Structure 1
């Protein structure tokens, strides 16, 4: 769409130059804002890129490790009755939370990929806040309730703690050797 040529005041040609500067100065003021915006934009790209990598490589793997190693070890070592019932309920809750957080992540991942590449996106900010809030609550419950109980249960028999440690060690050795 072509803009109409500016009207030239032939009686006062100097004012024509004056009026041109108004638009130029306005555009330059906007351009002057650019440096302040570049750093936050670069930080947004960096956070998105690192989060995409971290979530897949660390958080999903962490959940898998808890579900394959920690939860079964604690359940197997728990005393029959109330303790076993409590541990099973906690492990189920934590596993359900893992799936919920992972599902939220998969929704958000689509919106984060363009951010990581410096493109605009339709990132659902409310879902991003929900993910952060839900994961913080999950981690808090696990650290304040489940892990102390797990340590108490597994510490009753040094062989159980050693078996968990060996299992985790072997899993990590296999993971490292897969990349060698």
Structure 2
């Protein structure tokens, strides 16, 4: 730290303070990066928390609606033969994709919870990117292949479409607690 000349002149203690300031200034430069990181960190927590809430409440419920209401309604209304076979193949594919997507989500969920709480996380970014890409592909396939077919099949008989609407409404209608007299 000090040179022989510093000792001879008595500058060593002053030089030590100067070297300390260099270290302090480096740390201050790093600390000055913090404000730019606060907004992205808050946004990461917000995105993770929103995704957790949305997927648990909306997406899993959406899958159940399709599997318990839509797919059976379309299958029951499909004409025997090639049309019904096509509906079965499509519904099976979509159901299998639901299970794969749900499984992938469950692998991501614990780390997303950590992100939402602002904790250190080892979120598998590649898994997250695969999940997003697979879900986009799933939704696109359903929109292009299954839903137009469902519309055609259920649209043939208005009561079939109405029955599906009523069934979905009943499934999601708020339940009032029973009152006893």
Normalised to the residue count of structure 2, the TM-score between the two structures is 0.90
| Deviation by residue 1:121-146 (Cα, 9 ceiling, x = unmatched) | 11111111111011000000001110
Asked if 1:177 is matched to 2:171, the reply is no
Asked if 1:101 is matched to 2:105, the reply is no
Q: CA deviation at 1:15?
A: 3.0
Q: Is the CA contact 2:94–2:138 (under 8 Å) kept in the aligned structure 1?
A: yes
Normalised to the residue count of structure 1, the TM-score between the two structures is 0.90
Q: Bigger radius of gyration, 1 or 2?
A: 2
Cα distance in 2 for residues equivalent to 1:71 and 1:32: 56
Indicate the SS of the match to 2:16: helix
Unaligned 5+ residue runs, structure 1?
1-5
Unaligned 5+ residue runs, structure 2?
none
Indicate the SS of the match to 2:21: helix
The runs of 4+ residues in structure 1 deviating greater than 6 Å are none
Partner of 1:23: 23
Q: CA deviation at 1:18?
A: 2.4
Change (3 A) 1:179 1:135: farther
Q: Is the CA contact 2:2–2:15 (under 8 Å) kept in the aligned structure 1?
A: no
Q: CA deviation at 1:7?
A: 6.5
Cα distance in 1 for residues equivalent to 2:15 and 2:172: 76
